[in-house]
Chains A and B, each alone.
Chain A
Amino acid sequence: MTALVRAEWTKLFTTRVWIGLLAGACLLAGGSAALVTGLAGQPGGPPPVGTAQFEQLALAVASNAAVLSLILGIIGMTQEYRHRTATPTFLTTPRRGRVVVAKLLAYGLAGVPFALLVTAVTATVVTVYAGARGAAPSLTGDNLQVLVFAGLAIVVYTVIGVGLGALMRNQVGAIVGALVYLYVVEPLLSSFQATVDVFRWLPGGALRALTTTAGGPPGVTLDLLERWQGGLLLLGYGLVAAVLGTLLAVRRDVV
């Protein structure tokens, strides 16, 4: 299994996809951290610099990068089918379940430095910018917890991406489907009181429970799960995607 995990890392690091996604993730997280910090305290903006709400909100934007780690996972799996390398891959390892498990491990582990870098960039931007505006947040206690959970979300989303890729196999379809789901379906569900009970249990709801303290849109009580519950639920989704993806990869013909 070690050999297979290392083979997946060789695949990952011998194309440049990871550089683009990592750079994008850092830009996204750093940019939104700067935006939140810059607007802090303005009327209608985030809470003022120096408050606990501001600090947690600003640090939690690191979790926005989860969408890019999701895409990393999706590409990692679906590129085998897109470029038809699934054939040599499964010829080398005919027990296909081992390939999918190796991918899940490889991408889960690769997600850790990815998450570390993204959270580090976020923390740096917030610390420096908020410091310049009067009060740098301490990276301890609740603030640290927010960063850790944002990083955890990034890692779990990578794993979900691999599982989703194994389910869908079509790269464009999987990425478009995931984006539509995350940015159209879930926001829709989360914006009405009647559907919020459903949203709470979905991956996006779990992500929000894990990483944010903010409430829902006006007039809607989100009533999210506890942070640890959200984290567990998200892990559960990652696991389900992984198991389903593995089963399907083993059963379906490689075409």
Chain B
Amino acid sequence: MCPGSRSGSPDTRVGMPAAPGRALGWTRRPADDEESAIQPGSSPHRGPVRVEVRGLTKSFGAVRAVDDLSFTVEPGSITGFLGPNGAGKTTTLRMALGLERPDAGTATFDGVPYPALPAPVRTVGAVLETAFHPARSGRNHLRVYCRAAGLPPSRADEVLAQVGLAEAGRRRAGGYSLGMRQRLALATALLGDPAVLVLDEPANGLDPEGIHWLRGFLRHLAHDQGRTVLVSSHLLAEMEQTADRVVIVGAGQLVREGSLAELRSGAQGSGAVLARSPEAGRLAEVLGAAGFTLVPPDDDLVTVTGTTPAAVGAQAFRAGVELHELRAETSGLEELYFRLTAGQEQYAAPQGGAR
């Protein structure tokens, strides 16, 4: 714990946790079939769990909040669930966790819908909102869910230490800062030592140090321990630093799914390709004739959108145009994200180019 945590304001003096996940003891063992048969310290889930969302759809009145959404979340990696506010992220997560009823579609954890899991909190831990009774201490809040899930009450202290709340555990949760509330919610999700973690905007309210800590914590859970981590956010910058893969949604529909590297490189034809040539004018002509979308050459630079470096290079090679530089634009992810999610017609279909 950092010194001065007793006298400091509760806002920032949360204290650094022990090494992330040190006390997790996550092991692969066969699943228990009843919640009452749980032995202290055992981890009865079945190892890595894949999350599959298929055709989820839900309308609120005339608004289609989630529209035929399908994606997959793989174990051992952090998947960012990215989209602007109101894109349907929270509704999707709540449907996947059995809290809201979809109009159509399914979400499964290794093929099993959440409500049918034999020991749900041991398979999936979820941080959906920072929900607790303000008059109850953080520790007692956790002990409630230990009891309900048949976990030993000592788990409450273990997860409190994991998220760095050991000292604040006995205080009323109503007095916690926003960052501490996020940590308490995360601790609740970790109680069952789950194979899958689902977090809805977990960085909200965390200070920079807290965000840095969370990032490391999630990486440890996914990369070192092989868990499946799904994190939603509306902030691309945050996801760029945390996620391995992203699922981008806009207006309830899937916009793009893939690794960040793929998106960034434009390998899916979503970025811009920059080509430098001493014969920029001729290169533009050749590419334009082949049906590529490009902006007018600027000096020796030709910018082509909606395609890949490979496609541009091949065309230039066929036409015998000399190239000095050929690369995907890597700095435009923010712009890409914005473009992808800005309006219906813009993410309806990627522009084909010369595929």
The CA of A11 and the CA of B129, in the complex, are separated in Å by: 19
CB of B101 within 8 A of CB of A88, answer no
Is the CB of A135 closer than 8 A to any CB of chain B?
no
Q: How large is the interface on B (under 10, 10 to 19, 20 to 34, 35 or more residues)?
A: 20 to 34
CB of B100 within 8 A of CB of A254, answer yes
**B 132-144 binary contact with A (CB < 8 Å = 1; else 0):** 1111110011011
Chain A residues positioned under 8 Å from B132 (CB to CB): 83, 85, 88
Residue of A nearest to B185 (CB): A88
CB of A254 within 8 A of CB of B129, answer no
CB of B100 within 8 A of CB of A10, answer no
CB of A7 within 8 A of CB of B148, answer yes
**B 67-105 binary contact with A (CB < 8 Å = 1; else 0):** 000000000000000000000000000100111110000
**A 20-52 binary contact with B (CB < 8 Å = 1; else 0):** 000000000000000000000000000000000
CB of B137 within 8 A of CB of A94, answer no
CB of A94 within 8 A of CB of B98, answer yes
Given contacts A83-B133, A85-B131, A88-B188, contact A14 B144 (CB under 8 A): yes
Is the CB of A91 closer than 8 A to any CB of chain B?
yes
- Of residues 228 through 255 on chain A, the ones whose CB sits less than 8 Å from some CB of chain B are 253-255
Is the CB of B326 closer than 8 A to any CB of chain A?
no
Chain A residues positioned under 8 Å from B126 (CB to CB): 91
**A 76-96 binary contact with B (CB < 8 Å = 1; else 0):** 000100011111111111110
The CA of A83 and the CA of B136, in the complex, are separated in Å by: 11
The CA of A89 and the CA of B120, in the complex, are separated in Å by: 12
Is the CB of B147 closer than 8 A to any CB of chain A?
yes
CB of B148 within 8 A of CB of A94, answer no
Residue of B nearest to A15 (CB): B135
A160 to chain B, nearest CB (A): 23
- B120 touches which of A14, A85, A87, A92 (Cβ 8 Å): A92
Is the CB of A133 closer than 8 A to any CB of chain B?
no
CB of A253 within 8 A of CB of B99, answer yes
**B 144-156 binary contact with A (CB < 8 Å = 1; else 0):** 1101111000000
Chain A residues positioned under 8 Å from B147 (CB to CB): 3-4, 6-7, 10
Is the CB of B26 closer than 8 A to any CB of chain A?
no
The CA of A102 and the CA of B306, in the complex, are separated in Å by: 57
- B144 touches which of A11, A91, A254 (Cβ 8 Å): A11
Chain A residues positioned under 8 Å from B134 (CB to CB): 83
Residue of A nearest to B173 (CB): A83
CB of B121 within 8 A of CB of A14, answer no
B11 to chain A, nearest CB (A): 21
CB of A15 within 8 A of CB of B136, answer yes
